């Protein structure tokens, strides 16, 4: 069923924050206000639909000046009642309570999976892919990834100069629980010598052998990049607590520090670790994220009015209508060909 112009449009941002969220909110809101819609901001992720006061109207003044801002003016949370039937129905009741004709959600795999369930329960919903992990399938662009990638590459550029000056090994830990796109493309663009990804298990023996071979060839410094979810053989795994979404808190794993310690012990090389952590999520979005967030936001509103699809995506350089099923059927993994290129040119 189509949603006519002059409707009530809700916007929710959920999961981890990412640069470009505000650009998408701005595009949805301005396009909706121009069409005569009422725009309702759902506050603090899905929590806003569970609480009577978890929302506020968005006027033109609220959308002014937010294009370059990181984070989200609506707030976010890790609340994800994906497998809680009672909470799912409370979310549906929240949509009904706000009298929303359509809900536009901007999020990653967990957020889109929940949006899919709500769609199956009859909620008129449109999903926009957002994640710095770039693990959402069916789209060539995820809001926030390019900005996070630029942070990784800049960090590698800086670490190269220190490593070369002191003839040591620098280990950089990036985000990436199940997929290693930031580490793979960051390592490729930033000239990492060893790349460790969740998709391809590696052992500490392999890492040490690579670094020893480089030193034997006269290369006195090396850069190792490790995605936080990478399986590295030869290192004991500590218990990892879960976050509110039920995902392991991979930062608690401290894989970068532990790999650095193992390298120092196995090779005798002076080794230091750097953990980028939330620096990858924060700050202003780069130009590409601003542009795609704007285009995806405007397209999402069009689809909300038309009622013709449940998601938007980017394919072959164009914004297209998609389904949430296409974006959530599988996780987009780093292909072996890309991993082998990282190993080849490192």
Tokens of 28: 């949805």
Average of per-residue pLDDT across 223-237: 93
Distance CA 289, CA 68 (A): 10
- Give the residue from 329, 316, 194, 326 showing the smallest Cα distance to 266: 194
Tokens of 199: 């998709």
On whether residue 108 sits in a domain, the answer given is yes
In degrees, to the nearest 5, what angle opens at C-alpha 125 toward C-alphas 318 and 82?
110
Is 209 found in the same domain as 169? yes
- pLDDT of 4 over the 90 cut: no
Average of per-residue pLDDT across 252-257: 91
Range of the domain at 76: 8-144+285-328
Average of per-residue pLDDT across 162-169: 97
On whether residue 336 sits in a domain, the answer given is no
Question: For residue 267, what pLDDT is reported?
Answer: 98
- Give the residue from 124, 116, 130 showing the smallest Cα distance to 305: 124
Distance CA 326, CA 332 (A): 11
On whether residue 183 sits in a domain, the answer given is yes
On whether residue 126 sits in a domain, the answer given is yes
On whether residue 59 sits in a domain, the answer given is yes
Average of per-residue pLDDT across 208-229: 97
- Give the residue from 9, 79, 3 showing the smallest Cα distance to 41: 9
Question: For residue 1, what pLDDT is reported?
Answer: 43
- pLDDT of 207 over the 60 cut: yes
Place of tokens 């850069």: 223
- pLDDT of 2 over the 70 cut: no
Q: Count CB-CB contacts under 10 A for residue 188.
A: 18
Annotated catalytic residue 109: no
Is 290 found in the same domain as 274? no
Average of per-residue pLDDT across 1-26: 88
User: What's the pLDDT band for 80 if we cut at 50, 70, 90?
Assistant: confident
Number of domains within the chain: 2
On whether residue 340 sits in a domain, the answer given is no
Average of per-residue pLDDT across 157-177: 97
On whether residue 342 sits in a domain, the answer given is no
Considering the candidates 37, 133, 193, 289, report the single residue annotated as catalytic: 133
Question: For residue 237, what pLDDT is reported?
Answer: 80
Is 160 found in the same domain as 119? no
Q: Is the pTM of this model over 0.85?
A: yes
CATH number at residue 270: 3.40.50.460
């Amino acid at each position: 069923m189509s949603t006519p112009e002059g409707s009530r449009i809700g916007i929710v941002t959920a999961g981890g924050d990412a640069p470009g969220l505000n650009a998408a909110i701005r595009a949805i809101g301005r396009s909706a206000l121009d069409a005569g819609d009422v725009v309702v901001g759902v506050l603090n992720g899905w929590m806003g639909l569970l609480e009577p006061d978890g929302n506020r109207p968005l006027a033109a003044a609220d959308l002014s000046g937010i294009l370059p801002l990181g984070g989200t003016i609506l707030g976010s949370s890790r609340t994800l009642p994906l497998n809680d039937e009672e909470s799912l129905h409370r979310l549906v009741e929240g949509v009904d309570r706000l009298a929303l004709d359509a809900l536009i959600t901007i999020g990653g795999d967990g957020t889109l999976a929940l949006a899919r369930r709500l769609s199956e329960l009859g909620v008129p919903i449109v999903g926009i892919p957002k994640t710095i992990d770039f693990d959402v399938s069916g789209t060539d662009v995820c809001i926030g990834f390019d900005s996070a990638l630029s942070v990784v590459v800049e960090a590698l550029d800086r670490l190269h100069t220190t490593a070369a000056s002191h003839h040591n090994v620098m280990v950089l830990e990036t985000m990436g629980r199940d997929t290693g796109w930031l580490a793979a493309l960051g390592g490729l663009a930033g000239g990492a010598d060893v790349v460790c990804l969740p998709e391809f298990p590696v052992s500490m023996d392999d890492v040490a052998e690579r670094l020893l071979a480089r030193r034997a060839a006269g290369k006195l410094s090396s850069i190792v990049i490790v995605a936080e979810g990478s399986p590295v053989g030869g290192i004991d795994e500590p218990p990892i607590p879960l976050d509110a979404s039920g995902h392991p808190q991979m930062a608690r794993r401290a894989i970068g520090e532990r790999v650095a310690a193992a390298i120092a012990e196995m090779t005798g090389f002076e080794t230091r670790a750097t953990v980028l952590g939330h620096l990858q999520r924060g700050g202003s979005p780069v130009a590409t994220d601003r542009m795609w967030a704007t285009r995806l936001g405007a397209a999402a509103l069009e689809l909300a009015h038309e009622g013709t699809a449940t998601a938007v995506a980017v394919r072959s350089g164009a914004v297209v209508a998609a389904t949430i099923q296409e974006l959530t059927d599988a996780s987009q993994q780093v292909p072996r060909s890309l991993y082998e290129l990282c190993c080849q040119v490192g």
